[in-house]
Amino acid sequence: MKNIKLEVNMQLAQFEELSTDDQELVNKAIEATRNSYANYSHFHVGAAIRLADGRVMIGANQENAAFPSGLCAERTAIFAAQANYPDQPITTLAIAAKNEKGLLEEPVTPCGGCRQVILEIEDRYKQPVRILLYGTKGTYVIKSVKDLMPLSFVDSNMH
């Protein structure tokens, strides 16, 4: 048997090292945590996405007493963007989160379901989605969701 190693590529940036556009997007994600409805987990996640035309849209997690009926911040933003501006690819997605102690120190990471949804966006628009995972200690800058998903599954894997 052969051992196979897969690499994950990302950068760690201090907030000041980010471009002005990226700083703006991260700030929008931080602001969006205020719109989270997290009555059950008390974990407030904010997402901000930039579309190809420069438009920024935000999302925040929305929970429900019937747990599976809620939705993550990333998907509220992505689905709203697709529903309103289906011709606009998503170029960058930023995420931030707050718990009972405040903004997370370590970069917040998207759940598996959201990664799969971001992958579908890359596949649909045939271009990568840059991902900014904010933490007060630093921000991970990721070029494509594929870096977070080795052996990912898309439509072409079925044919």
61 binds ligand THU (CB under 6 A): yes
Would you say 35 and 60 are in contact if contact means Cβ atoms under 8 Å apart?
A: yes
Contacting residue, 29, 32, 72, 96, with ligand THU by CB under 6 A: 72
26 binds ligand THU (CB under 6 A): no
41-59 burial string, b = 16+ CB within 10 Å, else e?
Answer: eebbbbbbbbbeeeebbbb
45 binds ligand THU (CB under 6 A): yes
Tokens of 13: 């940036």
39 binds ligand THU (CB under 6 A): no
Please report, as residue ranges, which positions from 109 to 138 form the binding site for ligand THU (by CB under 6 A): 110-111, 114
Would you say 60 and 74 are in contact if contact means Cβ atoms under 8 Å apart?
A: no
Q: Contact positions toward ligand THU, by CB under 6 A?
A: 38, 41, 43, 45, 61, 63, 70, 72-74, 110-111, 114
